Amino acid sequence: MRHSRDFDASGLERRDLLMAAAAAAAVVTVPSVAGAQAPTVPSMKVSFTVNGKAQALELDTRTTLLDALREKLQLAGSKKGCDHGQCGACTVIVDGRRINSCLTLAVMHEGGSITTIEGLGTPAELHPMQAAFVKHDGYQCGFCTPGQICSAVAVLAEIEAGIPSHVSTDLTARPQATAVEFRERMSGNICRCGAYSNIVEAITEVAGRKA
Q: Domain map of the chain by residue range? A: 122-211
**Can you give the chain as a three-state secondary structure string?**
CCCHHHECCCCCEHHHHHHHHHHHHHHHHCCCCCCCCCCCCCEEEEEEEECCEEEEEEEECCCEHHHHHHHHCCCCCCCCCCCCCCCCCCEEEECCEEEECCCCEHHHHCCCEEECHHHHCCCCCCCHHHHHHHHCCCCCCCCCHHHHHHHHHHHHHHHHCCCCCCCCCCCCCCCCCCHHHHHHHCCCCCCCCCCHHHHHHHHHHHHHHHC
Mean pLDDT across 198-211:
89
Q: For 13-22, 81-90, 125-134, which range has the lowest pLDDT when averaged over its residues? A: 13-22
Mean pLDDT across 159-188:
94
Q: Is the pLDDT of residue 11 over 90?
A: no
CATH architecture of the domain 122-211 equals Orthogonal Bundle (1.10)
**Residue-level pLDDT at 7:** 46
**Residue-level pLDDT at 192:** 93
Which residues, listed in sequence order, are joined to residue 53 by a DSSP beta bridge? 50
| CB-count exposure of residue 36 (10 Å: 0-12, 13-18, 19+) | exposed
**Residue-level pLDDT at 151:** 98
**Residue-level pLDDT at 211:** 47
Closest CA to 101 of 122, 111, 115: 115
Mean pLDDT across 78-84:
95
Q: pLDDT tier at 88 (50, 70, 90 boundaries)?
A: very high
**Residue-level pLDDT at 40:** 77
**Residue-level pLDDT at 39:** 72
Q: Give percent of the chain with pLDDT exceeding 90.
A: 75
Q: Is the pLDDT of residue 25 over 70?
A: no
**Residue-level pLDDT at 107:** 97
Q: For 15-29, 59-73, 130-144, 172-186, which range has the lowest pLDDT when averaged over its residues? A: 15-29
**Residue-level pLDDT at 169:** 86
Q: Which carries the bigger pLDDT value, residue 210 or residue 73?
A: 73
**Residue-level pLDDT at 188:** 96
Q: Which carries the bigger pLDDT value, residue 146 or residue 41?
A: 146
